[in-house]
Amino acid sequence: MKVCKTNISSKSAMRGPGEVQGSFIAEAVIEHVASILSVHADSIRKINLHDFESLTKFFEGAAGEPFEYTLPSIFNKFTSYASYQDRAEMIQQFNSCNRWKKRGLSCVPVVYQVTVRPTPGKVGILNDGSIIVEVGGVEIGQGLWTKVKQMAAFALGQLWDDGSQDLLERVRVIQADTFSLIQGGWTAGSTTSESSCEAVRLACNILVDRLKFLKDSLQQKMGSISWDALILQANTQAVNLSASSYWVPDPSSKEYLNYGAAISEVEIDLFTGATTILRTDLTYDCGKSLNPAVDLGQIEGSFVQGIGFFMSEEFITNSEGLVVTDGTWTYKIPTVDTIPKQFNVEFLDSGHHEKRVLSSKASGEPPLLLAASIHCATREAIKAARDEFNYTTPSASPATFQMNVPATMPVIKELYGLDIVERYLENSLSVHQLKKV
């Protein structure tokens, strides 16, 4: 008898593997340059934003048309408004009046490239008029089936020009397998929903073409016809009510870019190192969202997952390589207390995109990278704390220092010298002696 141990941690990558790390490295470089030059990091970010010419060279084949490049307008909207400058001044005033609490503010943009992959779809209409849909993607809480149901109802509803037939409640999505869909699709890369929707739309168009002539002829005889009556007649006349498709994206448009920016304000308690996220404002270019409620949930959820990555979820192993942080007592995921106290999310409707599925864009992974704004804002707060205590180390000045990910409470306290009482007292004494000299 063989025993298979299955209660081990998953080794699967989830949401932007490699992208989030690479993006953060770029932000860390910008923060360091700004510290060396004694300027705000946002000014360095603004200088280094792509123009459309450099964008097309760096993201060859994915940049699209000039009007699609919305990042400069999004970033400038955040950093140029008077409210941003007012908040920065209020934070500076707060820091000067509070010795044991410090605040920081940071704005981070994102450019995220995604790839659309070939995807199968299958649609069938049963005798009672109900509609069965199968797609290659797997529903894992990202709203895939919700969007697919909407697409099926929309595409089949085009048989009626006046939109009189609401078919959404008739649609049921079932989990496909390799017997029904031989070329199963991917569930990855933030583009599964749009790819599956397009595959379903193509399958529905086949059914619409088969039913169109029958529907028009019945309408001429009867004046009007319902969905149930149409399907009943279609079965009587042996119309094939099952259709499959395999959508293959055009090579010229299978890759595209997503844009967004987030500005975050945090407060750290210098005694404990605890970080409170006071406010986050996030703007994301969703194209024309297939389902705003689903995409809003994706954006918020992705950002909160990023908070865990950047601030609290520390993966620790012992000398034997065994995971020490194996439960919520030691592995700290985001909770209701760690998400922003005020969280404002705005969609940017960037208009019609001819080469996108109904002009929509991905929403699953790109917002995760925007959580770096929390880390960068915390860094600004730590700078204020280091200035307060005039804290330096042999390898770093008050403004230049390395801040690890995740920025847990012990990491934060160490950066301004309050992790060890003796170290704080020693630093305070040296500062006092320097003032006397």
Domain segments of the chain: what residues? 19-115+255-424, 119-247
- What Å distances lie between residue 247 and 73, 145, 151, 178, 254, CA to CA? 34, 17, 14, 17, 11
- For residue 126, pLDDT beyond 80: yes
What whole-number distance in Å separates Cα of residue 380 and Cα of residue 267? Answer: 10
Model confidence at 178, in pLDDT bands (50, 70, 90)? Answer: confident
User: Which spans in 223-313 are helix H?
Assistant: 227-236, 292-307
The mean per-residue pLDDT over the stretch 142-154 comes to 95
- Residue 81 has what pLDDT? 75
Model confidence at 4, in pLDDT bands (50, 70, 90)? Answer: low
Q: What architecture does CATH give domain 19-115+255-424?
A: 2-Layer Sandwich (3.30)
- Residue 431 has what pLDDT? 56
Q: What architecture does CATH give domain 119-247?
A: 2-Layer Sandwich (3.30)
What whole-number distance in Å separates Cα of residue 255 and Cα of residue 111? Answer: 13
- Residue 389 has what pLDDT? 83
Question: What's the start-to-end Cα distance of the chain, in Å?
Answer: 79
- Residue 182 has what pLDDT? 86
- What are the pLDDT digits (tens) for 241-294? 999 999 999 888 899 999 999 999 999 999 999 999 999 999 999 888 999 999
- What are the pLDDT digits (tens) for 154-175? 999 999 988 778 899 999 999 8
- Residue 188 has what pLDDT? 86
Contact 197, 293 (CB under 8 A): no
Contact 386, 416 (CB under 8 A): yes
Q: Is residue 431 within a helix (H) or strand (E), and if so which, with residue range? A: helix 421-436
- Residue 432 has what pLDDT? 58
- What are the pLDDT digits (tens) for 281-338? 999 998 889 999 999 999 999 999 999 999 999 988 888 878 888 888 889 999 988 8
Percent of the chain scoring above 70 in pLDDT: 92
Same topology between domain 19-115+255-424 and domain 119-247: yes
- Residue 184 has what pLDDT? 83
Give strand ranges (E) for 217-274.
242-247, 255-269
- For residue 408, pLDDT beyond 90: yes
- Residue 295 has what pLDDT? 95
Task: Report the 10 Å Cβ neighbour count for 400.
Answer: 16
